[in-house]
């Protein structure tokens, strides 16, 4: 049995358009003269709402406000974001034999609403959101300890769509799986030298069951 950890935005949840839209609305509210585009996310070294705000030219003293307002927009959205095509089935299949968790810079509240919407709440054993202190690497170690995974055992996977997901996995001695359907390009992801690259949700099964 493996411990399989998913990032949320760009891996499970198709939130790109929401991120761009909410980022623009919040920039406008804060009177930041910046046009938000995908490029503001695609080259981030650390994928987080704070880094996103800095890419959108938000002054440092307004970064916390930017983060909170973006998270609030997600919470107030009438329906949770869509799940990427095919992932519902993959998550259910993996949950039969493995322990699944989510580590994200989004809020646990938003993630749990998404899981309920897509009937996946019983598949995920734990959600570590922005409301839980610590870096992604620290949260991987917390999950490893919580679910009694041997630190020397290779069966801890971190599935992400950003350089910071890959680096967090390496820091926590987890196997990194980079997905190409998320917010960052394959070329950018390869800079982090992930252990595996998958181009479709179906490939996750082959990598994890290898």
The pLDDT tens digits for 150-193 are 554 458 999 999 999 999 999 999 999 999 999 888 999 999 99
Other Cβ atoms within 10 Å of 81 Cβ, number: 23
Lowest-confidence region among 73-87, 102-116, 148-162, 165-179? 148-162
Query: Which one is the CATH code of 3-14+80-208: 3.40.1260.10, 3.30.70.260, 3.40.50.1000, 3.30.1340.10?
Result: 3.40.50.1000
Q: How far is CA 15 from CA 59, 77, 120, in A?
A: 24, 12, 17
Predicted local distance difference test score (pLDDT) of residue 1: 83
Predicted local distance difference test score (pLDDT) of residue 152: 47
Mean pLDDT of the 129-148 span: 92
Q: Strand pairing partners for 5?
A: 101, 158
Phi, psi of 192 (to 5 degrees): -90, 0
Residue-by-residue DSSP string for 75-127: HHSSSPPEEPTTHHHHHHHHHHHSEEEEE-SS-HHHHHHHHHHTT-TTT-SEE
Mean pLDDT of the 11-20 span: 94
How does residue 149 score in pLDDT terms, banded at 50, 70 and 90? low
How does residue 121 score in pLDDT terms, banded at 50, 70 and 90? very high
> Is the Cβ–Cβ distance between 9 and 165 less than 8 Å?
no
């Amino acid at each position: 049995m493996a411990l399989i950890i998913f990032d949320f935005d760009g891996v499970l949840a198709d939130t790109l358009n929401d991120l761009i839209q909410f980022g623009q609305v919040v920039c406008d509210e804060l009177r930041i003269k910046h046009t938000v585009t995908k490029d503001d996310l695609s080259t981030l070294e650390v994928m987080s709402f704070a880094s996103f705000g800095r890419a959108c030219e938000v002054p440092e003293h307004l970064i916390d406000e930017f983060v909170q307002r973006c998270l609030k927009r997600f919470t107030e959205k009438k329906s949770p974001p869509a799940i990427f095509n095919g992932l519902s089935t993959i998550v259910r299949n993996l949950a039969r034999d493995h322990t699944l968790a989510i580590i994200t810079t989004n809020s646990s509240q938003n993630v749990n609403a998404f899981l309920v919407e897509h009937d996946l709440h019983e598949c995920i054993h734990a959600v570590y959101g922005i409301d839980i202190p610590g870096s992604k690497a620290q949260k991987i170690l917390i999950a490893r300890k919580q679910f009694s995974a041997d630190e020397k055992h290779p069966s801890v996977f971190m599935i992400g769509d950003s350089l910071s997901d890959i680096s967090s996995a390496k820091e926590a001695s987890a196997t990194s799986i980079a997905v190409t359907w998320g917010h960052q390009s394959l070329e950018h992801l390869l800079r982090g030298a992930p252990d595996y690259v998958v181009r479709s949700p179906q490939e996750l099964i082959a990598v994890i069951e290898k």
